[in-house]
Amino acid sequence: MVNLKIDGRDVEIAKGGTILAAAEKIGIKIPTLCFLKKISPTGACRVCVVEIEGADKPMTACNTPAIEGMVVTTQTEKLHKIRQQVIQLTLVNHPLDCPVCDAGGECDLQNSCYELGVDAQRFAGENLNHADINDWPLIQQVPSRCILCEKCVKVCHELVGASALEVKNKGEAAYIDTVDGKPLNCEFCGSCVAVCPTGTLNSKLFKFKARPWALRKTPSVCTFCPSHCQIDINTQGNEIYRITSDDEGTTNNGNLCIGGSFGYGYVNHAERLTRPLLDQKPVSWDQAFDKIVEGVDAIRSTVGSQALAGFGSPRLSNEENYLFQKMFRVGLGSNNIDSEARFGTLRAMQATETVLGLRGASNLLSAIGKSEAVLVFGADPTAETPAVDWQVQNACRRNDANLIVAGMRKIKLNKFANVSLTCKPGTELELANGISRMLYERNLLDGDYLNQYLENPEELKLHLDAIDIDAVCSKTGVTRAQLEETADLLGTAKTVSIIFGAEITKSARGYEKSIAISDLVILCGALRGGDAGGLFPLEEKGNMQGMLDMGLCPEYLPGYQPYAESRERFGKVWQAELPAGGLDAIGILEGIEAGTIKFLYLAATNPLTFPNANRWRKALEKVDFLVVQDILPTEVTKLAKVVLPGASWAEKGGSVTSLDHRVRSLEKAISSPGEAREDWEVLASLFARLQKQSISISRSEILAEVSSLSSLYGDICFAGEERNRPCLKQPYRPALKGFHYQTPKVEEVETGLQLVSGKSIYHFGSTSTWAAGPLEIESQGVISVSPADAAAAGIIDGGRAKLISRIGTTSGSVRIDPNLAAGLIFAPYHFAELGIQGLFADGCNRIGVQLEKV
């Protein structure tokens, strides 16, 4: 600790702390302009100058570390004059266009002028301001308003890692531009706009739309992905104008991605579903509900409840998913409920549960940032869960962590990696085995730890002894040296985070691959606990964790209580006899095809985004009674008997559970369009009608019921609901002898040209394809092809290509991506027009294809 005196008052601060931080600690306000706590100090504006005993020159408080015995004065005539003159200089050639400036009313420069009483200008200089830059997508840059604080440059480089911006030119001509001088081409996270203290960087979606002071801010949670960043929904009337996030007090530190910053456009979309539809014609809610009940009753009385099925959704809240499964199990007497988790998350969850006794992530996301080594395996955190990307960078940048990025595709995070293990498509299991074997071979296992936690060390030895590194290398395409380096980095780190995602979980062998990674987790000691390291299976859909926690699958009741075993107990509480058995997604699909499933309820789910989409399309066409509850018209709503218009996340309350098990509440900022209703209300009403009784259900009652039924949510309370503070689910702790090493089953991997689908960094499910922001960056699904494969097929960048798999065919425009290895084609799944999911077999993300020029 360091002791110093500021304005005559004693203050103690941790070594390395700045004068500014020390002053803040005792409530002394030193004026600042370019200072931003979450990035390194820049010292550009010089407004925070202070006088230090022993120094002739004024020194800046923001970046001068406090020294033992320092005596600081923050307010003197001389300092005031310097500050005033510096602001005067800042205003030289600064346009006084405050009336039409987007920052007007929330401009730090305005505020500084006001606070420091700068009411006159004595300096003048030739105006060398660069012209406004209007050709960047989504963001406008007005250099004349720039004070060159570099907040945008630093946030982009130090937190987001896109490193898209820099200071160009010298002297008065200096301005912020893209590094390559071309129109901005980045992640479009909007962080630069968010941190800009003036009206230099503006969101084009927001420009000239509203004055900041006229906006109402509703604290809520972004549910585009399960990072669950804390946001403020800025509204006026019944419209969202922008999304902001505070640096202080949020787990995301004020950072957002393109989804958070620019993805809100679909909420106020003109084509929102506003009225219930029956046979595509508007009807009243009563008519719609009556029709559903009538249909259900007819089917139940003729073929029985087993002909009813439904899909819940990660787009719905915990309460809604809870109600959905309860409505099905109690109100409809069917356990045929599932979700898209079947084709991804559930595979990972079943594997981690088997090996580690863990369902979902083992630690908070911040634990990634504090670890000494990070392995990102078959995941693209930038696209799937941007907050994980930021944490990985935190680890590398602030904690000197070593990073290994493994997978078939090179991703953004590769640029920070110490080792890039780019493997042949589909060989992730072999690669994980190779790393495990190398840890073993190089004596990097922690024997004491394994003795304590591993139940079956003999299985481990048996498995690892049998792995041949040379075979691993030839299968995966990585080198022995790379595996050695990986093992050394993982094996010598005290804290390790392992992150895996869609390329693992959504693949055909997703369960086995997840087993192999879970084994590796044991060997690395990633679950040693504490506030650093852990296992983080990624999922890209907002409330996937919460949905599964609520028991939305045939095998689990809420809190992962096994359905068969707990059926009776829940039946008693719910006062109903719960049906035996239950079909999963593929069972439901086959049931529809066989004509045994006659009623299907799709709550915020579009099966046409599932693999083998065309099989699903045919099935949906065949369903006797299709109910679709959604917010936007899709191909699926067009097939529905009854369409129920739901609410977007901004239009309702409810709790959601993040990837790292924080439970937060959504806050209603605007009301739903037309007659559309909050989804939990829709489900509650329908449930009541199915039960033939009037029951009133409130959201807090639902949550109380969840808590009473499952220890998982036992301690959840929303004492600070209005401040939107998260609560934490029961944290994971490995049990002694609780790890069960399992030998993953190895199968032959399909070779030849492979197509893999996945998430774009600019889109989220299919809702963002209705939002102007993401659409401006990526308006259609583009097929990414390696230079070698493109050349072989004679396709040029921007040309069109046809993809043919044994399941289906599609065509689309091509982008040649030098980061893709030859033999691999990537396409995003978001776009119905590209229909890439129609090329895959059930539940797979990868398939052999032919590539042809169109």
Partner 1 sequence: MSEVIFSSWGRKIVDNRQGQPQPLSELKIKLPAQYLEEGEVKGFIGWDGIILLDRTVDVVAMAAEYMKRVQEKYCCGKCTPGKKGTKVLQDTLARILAGRGQEEDLQTIEDLSLLLDSCKCTLCMTAAIPVFDTVRYFRDDYLAYARGEKTPADGLKYADKLTAPCMDRCPAHIDIPAYIEEIKDRRFDESLGSIRRNMPIPAVCGRVCPHPCETACRRALIDEPISIMVLKRVAADHEWMHHKQPPMLPKRSKGKRVSVVGAGPAGVTCAYYLALEGYSVDIIDMLPEPGGTVAVGIPDYRMPRHLLRRDIKIVQDLGVDIQFNTKLGRDVSLRDLKEKYDAVFLGTGAFKSKPMGVEGEDQGYEGFSEGGINYLRKVALGEPIVTPKRVIVVGGGNTAIDCVRVALREGAEDSILVYRRTRKEMPAESYEVDDAEEENVQFEFLRNPTRLIHENGKVVGVEVVVMELGEPDDSGRRRPAPVPGSEYVIPCDLVIPAIGQDPDLAYLDDSDYGIEQTRWSSIVTHNGTMMTDNEGVFAGGDCEYGAMTVVLAVGHGRRAARTIDRYLSEGKAYLDQEDAMEDVLNNFGVFDKVEETGLVGGLHREHQPKVDGHERAQNYDEIELAMPESQAVAEAERCLRCYRVGMIAVG
Residues in contact with partner 1 by the rule CB under 8 A: 16, 40, 42-46, 49, 52, 54-60, 63, 65, 67-68, 70, 82, 85-86, 89-90, 92, 122-126, 128, 147-148, 150, 154, 157-158, 163, 167, 169-174, 397-400, 416-420
Check residue 265 and report its DSSP letter: G
Min separation Cβ 308 and partner 1, Å: 55
Min separation Cβ 112 and partner 1, Å: 11
Min separation Cβ 715 and partner 1, Å: 36
Beta-carbon count within 10 A of 562 CB: 10
CA 552 to chain centre: 21
Q: Which is nearer to partner 1, 142 or 229 (CB)?
A: 142
Beta carbons within 8 Å of 313's beta carbon, 6+ residues apart: 321, 339, 340, 547, 603, 604, 605
Cα distances from 255 to residues 224, 243, 247, 570, 649, in angstroms, run 14, 11, 7, 41, 19
Q: Which is nearer to partner 1, 65 or 104 (CB)?
A: 65
Cα distances from 489 to residues 57, 320, 375, 449, 495, in angstroms, run 46, 44, 10, 18, 11
φ, ψ (nearest 5 deg) of residue 585: -55, -45
Min separation Cβ 46 and partner 1, Å: 5
Q: Which is nearer to partner 1, 46 or 759 (CB)?
A: 46
CB distance 813 to 844 below 8 Å? no
Min separation Cβ 118 and partner 1, Å: 13
Distance CA 463, CA 450 (A): 15
Min separation Cβ 192 and partner 1, Å: 16
Min separation Cβ 171 and partner 1, Å: 4
Min separation Cβ 420 and partner 1, Å: 7
Min separation Cβ 153 and partner 1, Å: 9
Q: Which is nearer to partner 1, 60 or 710 (CB)?
A: 60
Q: Which is nearer to partner 1, 82 or 467 (CB)?
A: 82
DSSP alpha helices (H): ranges in 263-344? 285-302, 318-326
From the list 304, 292, 365, 345, the residue with the least C-alpha distance to 628 is: 292
Map tokens 């250099």 to a residue: 143
Min separation Cβ 58 and partner 1, Å: 5
From the list 425, 803, 316, 844, the residue with the least C-alpha distance to 615 is: 844
Q: Which is nearer to partner 1, 36 or 502 (CB)?
A: 36
For residue 238 the two structure tokens come to 């019944």
Min separation Cβ 44 and partner 1, Å: 5
Please list the helix, strand and coil fractions of the chain in percent, rounded to the nearest 5, in that order: 35, 20, 45
DSSP string for residues in 13-81: E-TT-BHHHHHHHTTPPPP-SS--TTS-----S-TTEEEETT-SS-EETTT-B--TT-EEE---HHHHH
For residue 493 the two structure tokens come to 């780190």
CB distance 428 to 513 below 8 Å? yes
Distance CA 61, CA 41 (A): 10
Q: Which is nearer to partner 1, 497 or 543 (CB)?
A: 497
- Order of strands across the sheet that contains 642-645: 281-282, 277-278, 642-645, 625-630, 599-603, 308-311, 337-338
Q: Which is nearer to partner 1, 18 or 754 (CB)?
A: 18
Q: Which is nearer to partner 1, 489 or 583 (CB)?
A: 489
From the list 253, 250, 258, the residue with the least C-alpha distance to 159 is: 253
Q: Which is nearer to partner 1, 142 or 233 (CB)?
A: 142
From the list 375, 422, 378, 377, the residue with the least C-alpha distance to 395 is: 375
Map tokens 């059930």 to a residue: 842
CB distance 47 to 32 below 8 Å? yes
Min separation Cβ 67 and partner 1, Å: 3
Q: Which is nearer to partner 1, 45 or 690 (CB)?
A: 45
Min separation Cβ 371 and partner 1, Å: 14
Min separation Cβ 78 and partner 1, Å: 10
For residue 346 the two structure tokens come to 């559930």
Q: Which is nearer to partner 1, 118 or 597 (CB)?
A: 118
Cα distances from 129 to residues 144, 145, 170, 234, 501, in angstroms, run 5, 9, 12, 32, 46
Distance CA 847, CA 750 (A): 8
Q: Which is nearer to partner 1, 121 or 698 (CB)?
A: 121
Q: Which is nearer to partner 1, 59 or 98 (CB)?
A: 59
CB distance 724 to 219 below 8 Å? yes
**Which amino acid is residue 679, in one-letter code?**
D
Min separation Cβ 64 and partner 1, Å: 8
Min separation Cβ 2 and partner 1, Å: 9
Q: Which is nearer to partner 1, 412 or 677 (CB)?
A: 412
Min separation Cβ 74 and partner 1, Å: 14
Name the pairing type of β-strands 175-178 and 165-168.
Answer: antiparallel
Q: Which is nearer to partner 1, 83 or 228 (CB)?
A: 83
Q: Which is nearer to partner 1, 159 or 782 (CB)?
A: 159
Angle at 496 between CA 492 and CA 497, to 5 degrees: 155
Min separation Cβ 483 and partner 1, Å: 14
Q: Which is nearer to partner 1, 127 or 451 (CB)?
A: 127
From the list 268, 289, 269, 267, the residue with the least C-alpha distance to 278 is: 289
CA 643 to chain centre: 29
CB distance 647 to 320 below 8 Å? no
